Structure 1
Amino acid sequence: MNYRSELKKFLTSQYIYSGARIALAIVIPSIILAQFGLLKEYFLFPLGTSFVGLTDQQGPFIRRRNTLLLSVFSFFLIALFASLVKEFPIAVYLEILVFGFFFSMIGVYGLRLATFGSLALVVLSIFIDGHLTGDDIFKSSFIFFLGCLWFFIVFMIVSTLQPYKLASQVVGENYLELADYLRIKAQYYTKKPDFDSLLNQLISQQVKIKNLQEDTREIVFKTRKIVNESTTQSRILMLMFLNSVDLYDKLLTSENDYKKMNEVFGETRLLQSIHNYLMLMANEITNLGISLQSGLSYKQITNFDEELKKIYDDFFEHRSQKFSSETLEDFMMLRQVLMRITEITDEVNTILKVNSQDVKLAKSLSTGLDYSKFLPKEEQLNHKVFLSNFSLKSGHFRHAIRVTVALLIGYIVSRFEILGIGHSYWILITIIAILKPAYSTTKHRNLLRFFGTLAGAIIAYIILYFVDEPSVLLAILLVSMIICFSLLKSNYFWAVLFMTIYIFLSFNFLRPGNVNLIFKDRLLDTLIGGVITFLVAYFILPVWEHTQNLALMKKSSKSNLDYFRLVMDQFLKKDINDEDFRLKRKNAIIDLANLSDNFQRMISDPKNQQRKLETVHQFVTTTHLITAYIASLSQYAKTGHNFPEIDLENWKIKISAELLRTSSLLFQKELDEKTRAESHIKPEDQVVDLLEKRKTELESQVISDERKFGVSHLTEIKNIKELLELINDVAKDQRKIIEEYLIYQSTIAKQ
Structure 2
Amino acid sequence: MIQSIRQFTDSANFTRAVLVTVAAALPVFILNKFGFFDEGLTVAIGAFLTYPADIPSNLQHRAKGLLAAVCIVVGSTLAVNVLHPYPWLFYPVITVFIFFLSMISVYGQRATMVAFSGLLAIALGTGHINTGWEIVTYCTFVLAGGLLYTALSLTFNFLSPHRYAELQIAECLKLTGKYMKLRGDLWNADADRGAIVEKQLNLQVDINLTHENLREVLIRNRSNSGSSSRSRRMLLVFTSLMEILEIALSTSFDHSKLHQKFGSHSKVLTTYQTLAYNLASTLKKISKSIENRTKYVPKHNLLADLEALENAIAEYEQILGKEDAAEGVWMLTNMVHYAEKQIEKIKIIERSFGINASFNDLAKNRDKDLDKFLSPEFYRIDTIRENLTFSSTIFRHSLRLAITIACGFVIGALFPLQNVYWILLTIVVIMRPGYGLTKLRSYQRIIGTITGGIIAFAILSVVHHPVVIGTLIIVCMLLGYTFTAINYRIGATFVTMYVIFLYGLLTPDINHVLQYRIIDTVVGSALAFIGNYFLWPSWEFMNLPVFIKKSIEANRNYLAEISQYYNQKGLVTTPYRLARKNAFVELGNLMSSYQRMAQEPKSKQKQQQQVYKLAVLNHTLLSSLASLGTYTQSHKTYKASEAFNVVVTTVIRNLDTAIALLTMNVLAEEAQEAHNEELATRFTELKNIRARELREIHVTDEEEFKLKMEEAHLVIEQLVWLNSLSEKIVKAARTLELGK
With structure 1 as the length reference, what TM-score do the two structures score?
Answer: 0.88
Q: 1:244-302, CA deviations, whole angstroms, 9 ceiling, x for partnerless residues?
A: 22222122223222333344456835444444433333333233234445655433332
Within 2, Cα distance between the matches of 1:689 and 1:105? Answer: 60
Q: Corresponding residue for 2:703?
A: none
Q: Corresponding residue for 1:305?
A: 303
**8 Å contact 1:636–1:720 — kept in the other structure?**
no
Aligned-pair CA distance for 1:605: 2.3
Q: Corresponding residue for 1:244?
A: 241
Aligned-pair CA distance for 1:11: 3.8
Within 2, Cα distance between the matches of 1:41 and 1:128? Answer: 18
Question: The residue matched to 1:499 in structure 2 has which SS?
Answer: helix
Q: Corresponding residue for 1:234?
A: 231
Distance change in 2, residues 1:617/1:32 (3 Å): same
Q: Corresponding residue for 1:578?
A: 573
Q: Which moved more, 1:40-49 or 1:110-119?
A: 40-49
Q: 1:84-140, CA deviations, whole angstroms, 9 ceiling, x for partnerless residues?
A: 333332233124312211111111111111111122111111111435889933323
Within 2, Cα distance between the matches of 1:338 and 1:199? Answer: 23
Q: Which moved more, 1:535-544 or 1:451-460?
A: 451-460
**Partner of residue 489 from structure 2, selected from 489, 493, 496:** 493
Distance change in 2, residues 1:23/1:715 (3 Å): farther
Answering whether residue 618 of structure 2 is matched by residue 623 of structure 1, we say yes
Which amino acid in structure 2 is aligned with residue 450 of structure 1?
A: I
Within 2, Cα distance between the matches of 1:652 and 1:119? Answer: 50
Aligned-pair CA distance for 1:521: 2.0
Distance change in 2, residues 1:250/1:90 (3 Å): same
Distance change in 2, residues 1:329/1:377 (3 Å): farther
Matches within 5 A, 1:397-476: 397-417=395-415, 420-468=416-464, 473-476=469-472
Within 2, Cα distance between the matches of 1:322 and 1:454? Answer: 69
**8 Å contact 2:433–2:538 — kept in the other structure?**
yes
Within 2, Cα distance between the matches of 1:445 and 1:634? Answer: 43
Within 2, Cα distance between the matches of 1:514 and 1:280? Answer: 60
Answering whether residue 523 of structure 2 is matched by residue 528 of structure 1, we say yes
Q: Corresponding residue for 1:704?
A: none
Aligned-pair CA distance for 1:643: 6.0
Answering whether residue 109 of structure 2 is matched by residue 111 of structure 1, we say yes
Which amino acid in structure 2 is aligned with residue 526 of structure 1?
A: T
Aligned-pair CA distance for 1:52: 0.8
**8 Å contact 2:555–2:583 — kept in the other structure?**
yes
Higher relative contact order (CA 8 A, sep 6+): 1
Within 1, Cα distance between the matches of 2:312 and 2:22? Answer: 55
**8 Å contact 2:23–2:145 — kept in the other structure?**
no
Distance change in 2, residues 1:471/1:62 (3 Å): same
**Partner of residue 255 from structure 1, selected from 227, 252, 255:** 252
Distance change in 2, residues 1:356/1:510 (3 Å): farther
Q: Corresponding residue for 1:705?
A: none
Within 2, Cα distance between the matches of 1:655 and 1:683? Answer: 16
Distance change in 2, residues 1:362/1:37 (3 Å): farther
Question: The residue matched to 1:239 in structure 2 has which SS?
Answer: helix
**8 Å contact 1:402–1:536 — kept in the other structure?**
yes
Aligned Cα RMSD in Å?
3.1
Matches within 5 A, 1:690-709: none
Distance change in 2, residues 1:357/1:398 (3 Å): farther
Distance change in 2, residues 1:373/1:269 (3 Å): same
Q: 1:216-268, CA deviations, whole angstroms, 9 ceiling, x for partnerless residues?
A: 212222114x6653531232122222222222212222322233334445683
Which amino acid in structure 1 is aligned with residue 212 of structure 2?
A: E
Within 1, Cα distance between the matches of 2:175 and 2:133? Answer: 52
Q: Which moved more, 1:296-305 or 1:386-395?
A: 296-305
Q: Corresponding residue for 2:551?
A: 556
Q: 1:473-512, CA deviations, whole angstroms, 9 ceiling, x for partnerless residues?
A: 545443433333333334322322332233233333333x
Distance change in 2, residues 1:497/1:112 (3 Å): same
**8 Å contact 1:657–1:679 — kept in the other structure?**
no
Q: Corresponding residue for 2:49?
A: 51
Aligned-pair CA distance for 1:427: 0.9
Q: Which moved more, 1:264-273 or 1:572-581?
A: 264-273
**8 Å contact 1:645–1:717 — kept in the other structure?**
no
Matches within 5 A, 1:663-702: 663-667=659-663, 668-671=665-668, 672-673=671-672, 674-680=674-680, 681-685=682-686
Matches within 5 A, 1:300-449: 300-322=298-320, 328-356=326-354, 358=356, 360-362=358-360, 365-367=364-366, 369-378=368-377, 380-417=378-415, 420-449=416-445
Q: Which moved more, 1:730-739 or 1:32-41?
A: 32-41
Structure 1 portions without partners, runs of 5+: 694-710, 746-751
Identical pairs, percent: 23
Aligned-pair CA distance for 1:333: 3.0
Question: The residue matched to 1:541 in structure 2 has which SS?
Answer: coil
Structure 2 portions without partners, runs of 5+: 695-705
Aligned-pair CA distance for 1:330: 4.4
Q: 1:587-613, CA deviations, whole angstroms, 9 ceiling, x for partnerless residues?
A: 111111111111111122222322222
**8 Å contact 1:657–1:678 — kept in the other structure?**
no
Aligned-pair CA distance for 1:328: 4.6
Which amino acid in structure 2 is aligned with residue 548 of structure 1?
A: N
**8 Å contact 1:14–1:293 — kept in the other structure?**
no
Within 2, Cα distance between the matches of 1:81 and 1:574? Answer: 62
Q: Which moved more, 1:601-610 or 1:457-466?
A: 457-466
Within 2, Cα distance between the matches of 1:322 and 1:5? Answer: 50
**Partner of residue 286 from structure 1, selected from 284, 289, 292:** 284
Q: 1:623-644, CA deviations, whole angstroms, 9 ceiling, x for partnerless residues?
A: 0100011112222111232368
Within 2, Cα distance between the matches of 1:515 and 1:266? Answer: 71
Question: The residue matched to 2:730 in structure 1 has which SS?
Answer: helix
Matches within 5 A, 1:731-742: 731-742=726-737
Aligned-pair CA distance for 1:373: 1.5
Within 1, Cα distance between the matches of 2:505 and 2:278? Answer: 49
**8 Å contact 1:277–1:307 — kept in the other structure?**
yes
Aligned-pair CA distance for 1:567: 2.0
Within 2, Cα distance between the matches of 1:366 and 1:204? Answer: 32
**8 Å contact 2:687–2:716 — kept in the other structure?**
no
Within 1, Cα distance between the matches of 2:311 and 2:614? Answer: 41
Aligned-pair CA distance for 1:737: 0.7
Within 2, Cα distance between the matches of 1:10 and 1:62? Answer: 27
Aligned-pair CA distance for 1:15: 2.3
Within 2, Cα distance between the matches of 1:311 and 1:479? Answer: 53
Distance change in 2, residues 1:350/1:542 (3 Å): same
Answering whether residue 657 of structure 2 is matched by residue 658 of structure 1, we say no
Aligned-pair CA distance for 1:446: 1.9
**8 Å contact 1:13–1:173 — kept in the other structure?**
no
Q: Which moved more, 1:462-471 or 1:390-399?
A: 462-471
Question: The residue matched to 1:87 in structure 2 has which SS?
Answer: coil
Within 1, Cα distance between the matches of 2:8 and 2:263? Answer: 36
Q: 1:665-721, CA deviations, whole angstroms, 9 ceiling, x for partnerless residues?
A: 33425243454444433153468978xx9xxxxxxxxxxxxxxxxx98766654444
Question: The residue matched to 1:682 in structure 2 has which SS?
Answer: helix
**Partner of residue 483 from structure 1, selected from 479, 485, 494:** 479
Distance change in 2, residues 1:389/1:362 (3 Å): same
Answering whether residue 135 of structure 2 is matched by residue 140 of structure 1, we say no
Q: Which moved more, 1:266-275 or 1:239-248?
A: 266-275
Which amino acid in structure 2 is aligned with residue 553 of structure 1?
A: I
Question: The residue matched to 1:572 in structure 2 has which SS?
Answer: helix
Aligned length: 720
Q: Which moved more, 1:500-509 or 1:339-348?
A: 500-509
Distance change in 2, residues 1:333/1:472 (3 Å): farther
